[in-house]
Amino acid sequence: MSARGFFVTGTDTGVGKTYVACALLRAFAARGLSVVGMKPVVTGAAMDEHGAITRWDDVDALTAASTVQAPVSLVRPYAFEPALAPHIAAARAGTSIELARIAAAFCTLSAMAELAVVEGIGGFRVPLNAEEDTADLASLLGLPVILVVGLRLGCLSHALLTAEAVAAQGLRLAGWVANRLDPQMPAFADNVAALEARLPAPLLGVLPYAPGDASAAAAILATSRHLDDLLR
């Protein structure tokens, strides 16, 4: 595929992929681009007091950060109620996740904007069906990858292994974002420096511990000296 965009992955689940994907959408929009976000597979719906599905928070956040409003069926081709691994959630729903369906939705969606940001689910090698995982999806879409590193104990190995997995898929690691998850993490700057020296891509920004403050993240990424390089 030759659409213009990026695939956002993370070192683990809960490291801020949606947070960073939304910040990227807003940063690119601030440069005058029409942008659209996509979450091909989402699990874990928000429920009301009667147990009825009300929304998927990640999808709502991406939609709010997009300048192009697209049909929800394209933004999230697969959505499952329980907060489970995607292939397990799909099996319990009596279905299977098909990468071809996601790719078709992406082709339609990406034609609606100048740039698309696709957010993965969990880490880079999360199973999607009996044979394929999110690495296969990223490879099928063929987008440059942006890695969100959740800065906490253990992040160095997770980040370096993910970078190796991205390279093994023949994909380009376009950049990475350091997202501080633990405000008390010791040797924080030393960990960031270790990753800067070892990851084969530029550091796009260091996000402070600021739960829910998407505007701050967008401002940091918007001023990154590497952001314009991503668009070349």
Helix locations, the chain, DSSP H: 17-30, 57-65, 72-75, 86-92, 99-110, 134-141, 155-168, 188-198, 214-222, 227-230
Residue recorded with tokens 């990406």: 110
Distances from the Cα of 178 to the Cαs of 32, 100, 135, 207, in angstroms? 25, 32, 21, 6
User: What backbone phi and psi angles, to 5 degrees, belong to 61?
Assistant: -65, -45
Q: Which of 39, 76, 87, 180 is catalytic?
A: 39
39 assigned to active site:
yes
State how far the Cα of 138 lies from the Cα of 178, in Å rounded to an integer.
21
Q: Which structure tokens are listed for 35?
A: 């942008």
Q: Which structure tokens are listed for 176?
A: 């990475």
In this structure, the strands spanning 46-47 and 53-55 are antiparallel
Residue 109's closest CA among 231, 230, 21, 3?
3
Please say whether the dihedral angle defined by the alpha carbons of residues 43, 57, 202 and 1, taken in this order, is positive or negative: positive
Residues classed as catalytic: 39
